């Protein structure tokens, strides 16, 4: 369960996507919660592209405005690689499967229009994100999340994982 700041970007009319007052816009690296009309679901993803950016993805390597992201291997387990990805001065962890020929690992150069955002999941090969549902309009964004509120271990009788309480995302 994550804590969501619903006033991070907008004050909205209750039970709607109508913005009454704008406080700001998502920045690269923000983890946003949004009601995706395309997915017909509420999703949580990381903002990678902001309006005006030109972004491409080749073999899960991001290029933003002609600058290739930097990758540092952190760990390697059976079937999964964990990297620190540095994108335009923002660093975060991602997971990628060792071998897959999934076509979602690539997309052609795209320029992000005003009031839209490109979002990707941190578990890249197991994420339905902008590669599947398209760009996220600002009007669908509910808020920003920075912390885990609490977490349960679903494989161990739902015992709370105390080490994850209030942990930074």
Supply the pLDDT for residue 15: 82
Token pair for 63: 């290029």
Spatial separation of the C-alpha atoms in residues 61 and 68, rounded to whole Å: 7
- pLDDT tens digits, residue range 49-81? 999 999 999 988 999 999 999 999 999 998 899
Please state the rounded mean pLDDT for residues 159-165.
Answer: 82
Chain-centroid distance, C-alpha 151: 19
Please state the rounded mean pLDDT for residues 36-48.
Answer: 93
Supply the pLDDT for residue 167: 80
Supply the pLDDT for residue 17: 81
Q: Please spell the DSSP secondary structure of 112-153, one letter per residue.
A: PPTTEEEEE-SBGGG--SHHHH-PEEGGGEEEEEEEE---EE
Q: How crowded is the C-beta side of 104, counted as CA atoms within 13 Å?
A: 16
Spatial separation of the C-alpha atoms in residues 11 and 161, rounded to whole Å: 33
């Amino acid at each position: 369960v994550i804590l969501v700041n619903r006033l991070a970007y907008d004050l909205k009319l209750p039970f709607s996507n109508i913005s009454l007052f704008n406080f700001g816009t998502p920045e690269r690296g923000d983890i946003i919660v949004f009601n995706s009309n395309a997915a017909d679901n509420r999703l949580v993803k990381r903002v990678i592209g902001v309006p005006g950016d030109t972004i491409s993805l080749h073999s899960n390597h991001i290029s933003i405005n002609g600058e290739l992201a930097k990758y540092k291997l952190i760990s390697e387990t059976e079937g999964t690689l964990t990297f620190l990805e540095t994108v335009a001065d923002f660093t975060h962890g991602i997971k990628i499967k060792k071998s897959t020929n999934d076509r979602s690992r690539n997309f052609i150069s795209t320029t992000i229009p005003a009031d839209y955002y490109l979002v990707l999941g941190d578990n890249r090969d197991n994420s339905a994100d902008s590669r599947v549902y398209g760009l996220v309009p600002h009007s669908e964004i509910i808020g920003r999340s920075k912390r885990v509120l609490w977490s349960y271990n679903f494989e161990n009788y739902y015992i709370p994982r105390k080490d994850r309480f209030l942990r930074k995302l």
